[in-house]
Amino acid sequence: MKSLRCVLSVVLISLSTVAFAQSDAQKSFDKLKTLAGSWEGRVTTFPPQAEMEDKAMQVSLRVTSMGNAMVHEMTGAGRPDHPVTMFYLDGDRLLLTHYCDAGNRPRMAGSTSADGKTVEFEFLDVAGSLDYGHMHHAVFTAIDANHHVEEWTYMMPGDKPVRARLDLQRTK
């Protein structure tokens, strides 16, 4: 009887841990969904990248697939094409897959800051060629309902990071 109680306790603790992790991923995803809409702002880069520095950027965030996915499209800075990023839940994890201009598809896992304002994505893996580098890190910070900041880190060949910061205002 005593061993049955121990096993039952372990099972209940395990289930509560899984439920907490799922709610954290869901909370992060729900936070991102509040950013659905059209945005515009300027980009700053470090180290400075002349082709992008202080250029106007537009971002579209759209919830799709019956609320199970979110599409992020970034245009501007004089570029003819644009990357697409998909956000989605995979079990107890919030993931993004970035369909990069470099021809690859990095995946990152997200988590929410303690204050609930920031969702940060850490690199997991990448499919496709790394010849031209890859997106490696992303941070989304909600300032208020009409203002958010995105920070993207691109890893150049030779593991040289380039950081881009987009300060965005809602247009609709």
* pLDDT digit string, tens, across residues 89-106: 999 999 999 999 899 999
pLDDT score for 15: 42
pLDDT at 111: 93
Position 82 scores a pLDDT of 85
Separation between Cα atoms, residue 10 and residue 66, nearest integer Å: 35
* Average pLDDT score over residue span 142-149: 97
pLDDT at 5 over 90: no
Instruction: Tell me the residue range of the domain where 165 lies.
Output: 2-170
DSSP-based three-state secondary structure for 26: helix
CA atoms of 16 and 131, how far apart (whole Å): 43
Of the listed ranges 4-8, 28-32, 120-124, 142-146, the one predicted with least confidence = 4-8
Count of domains observed in the chain: 1
Of the candidates 84, 65, 72, the residue with the CA atom closest to the CA atom of residue 39: 72
Mean pLDDT of the chain: 88
Q: Worst-scoring range by mean pLDDT, 21-25, 82-86, 106-110, 165-169?
A: 21-25
Q: List Cβ<8 Å contacts ≥24 apart for 54-58.
A: 57/166, 57/168
Q: Where residue 129 sits, what CATH number does that domain have?
A: 2.40.128.20
Task: Determine phi and psi for 55, rounding to 5 degrees.
Answer: -85, 150
Give burial (CB, 10 Å; 0-12/13-18/19+) of 110.
buried
Span 43-96, pLDDT tens digits? 999 999 988 899 999 999 999 999 999 999 999 866 767 899 999 999 999 999
Residue 57: other Cβ atoms inside 10 A: 21
